[in-house]
Amino acid sequence: MNKQEHESAPDRLGEYLIGKKIGAGGMGSVYLATNVHTDQLVAIKILPSALAREPGFVERFHREIEALKKMHNPYVIEFYDSGVENDIYYYVMEYVDGETLTKRLRREKRIDWKTVVEISIQICSALKAAHDAGIIHRDLKPSNLMLKEDGTVKLADFGVAQLFATEKLTVTGGIIGTAEYMSPEQAEGKRVSRQSDLYSLGAVMYVMLTGKPPFSGKTMLAIIQKQKYGQFDKPSRYVDDLPIWLEEIVCQLLEKDPQKRFPDAYVLSRRLQEVLNKYEMSTSEDTYALSGTSDVSVTPTVVQSASDQEAGSGTLMQGLMRAQLEADSTGSRLSRLFDNTFFLLGILLLLVLGGYYWFQERELTQEEMYNEAELILNQPENPEWYTARDKYLIPLLESDPNKWESQVRPKLKQIQVYVTRTEAGMSGKRKLRSVTQTEPQRFIMLAQHYRDAGNLVQAEIVLSALVDALHADKEQKEMRAVAEQMLKELRDNANRTAKRYVMLTQSMANADALFQKKKYQEAEAVWKALIVLYGQDPNEVAQKEINKAKQNLAKLPELIQAEESTTETQKAEPENE
């Protein structure tokens, strides 16, 4: 057995002989292995010992195991066994003799729509099993989908799902996933749901149909911005024979608002099956029509007499029509009542009046008005915030200022921030400088531009300076309040971000310590793992540490040589003395 083939993996773990490496990820590498008792081929995932000593990795590895144990589905990789030997943690799973969807797409570019539907129905079954077990996959993409020769799909890699299995682990994570297939809410670091996985499935279906993801870009940040705000081309632009029913499904899956997507994977699978059923029905009707024409053309011509024709199908239809008319004319008393025009008009009038009084909006209490406003403001910024202000909050303040001042005023201030941003052109549809903008508006927009670009430091500098500059300007009191609110939001987010990256900074410090102890391979393993986990996170804190890790890896041979030279020099000095 070639040792280089499986790097630092042992020749044997438990009752499994380790073979060649067949996959890799941030939480370990996957090897082909053989059960020594049954000769069964399996896949074994190994957590390197260097990562096992890092905080949180073993716990996450165990959670991935627990996730697989919970799921029993023909379209999910089957879990077999797990264990630890000589500080090496591993688990054994089903080996799929096939290829990833990524590999197939590279070879075929596109997949015909019927096969896409069949693959997607199987993925729905796998996702339903995961969601029923309380697990959100979070990283559904072509490379995590294995295709067997018989067309069976196997969903793999629940490692990212388990990074967020508990609140304890959530706070140490960042934006983790693959940008091209990441839902908008996941890209914003918000709480994800089963609809987030359905969005990812929509992106996978899109790339299978068209050969390209719905959004692409030169950088991960650019793709994420498009996921949040961009509009994709409809699949029919690239696929000529695509049924409209299937395109509607894909477009609904890629809705920005999770509530506008399908409620769950089961409902989606039924809709996908309907596409196949509708297509079969439409084609069978066409076939029936064609076959009927063919029968007429090949039937021998028979000349019929006039009397024969009169006694044929026309006579039969005439009799049937007469019988139906007679039956209709002798209905019951109730049926005759419903045939009465005046009776039906009376019923209609009652329904209209009843509906009017039923839907007549009653006057809300003050508490109900406040609750309605809160419901609207708990949603992301949108034009409905104007409704909350004009319909609920301002009337509340006018009706009883003593009671509502302390509760309503902060919310009006929150809405004013949104209004000012909108009026200043902060949607990105205007240029940074406009003749209609005041100077404070321009600087607020500039700060927003820096924030959206990920340059939080520069955004904070601009806002802090603006707050100080407007301190004594009574005419700009409103703009100063907006700047203060934005600055507060920025700093609050920065504090949450710092807590979120505790594991990253701690692991980087541990890797540096390992390097100083001349444990170069272990330090290298930690740096590589962190790059996989955080390499696509656009946050400044993450990027700073990841750039440092990349620089260390690039300079590793040089650093090792310098370290060894220093050691040799230190050893030589006593001899010279």
Binding site for ATP, by residue number, is 45
**Residue 5: closest CA among 31, 27, 26, 25:** 31
Distance CA 26, CA 480 (A): 45
DSSP, residue by residue, 269-290? HHHHHHHHHHHHHHHHHHHHHH
Dihedral over Cα of 149, 153, 158, 159: its sign = positive
Would you tell me the crossing angle of helices 244-253 and 265-298 to the nearest 10 degrees?
170
Distance CA 553, CA 275 (A): 51
φ, ψ of residue 20 in degrees (nearest 5): -75, 155
Burial of 182 from C-beta contacts in 10 A (0-12 / 13-18 / 19+): buried
Distance CA 357, CA 351 (A): 10
503, 142 contact by CB (below 8 A): no
**Residue 101: closest CA among 179, 181, 47:** 181
φ, ψ of residue 250 in degrees (nearest 5): -60, -45
**Who's near 281: CB < 8 A, 6+ residues apart?**
none
127, 155 contact by CB (below 8 A): yes
- Secondary structure (H, E, C), 80-132: EEEEEECCEEEEEEECCCEEEHHHHHHHHCCCCHHHHHHHHHHHHHHHHHHHH
Distance CA 500, CA 49 (A): 24
156, 145 contact by CB (below 8 A): yes
Q: Give the strand pairing for 12-13 and 16-25.
A: antiparallel
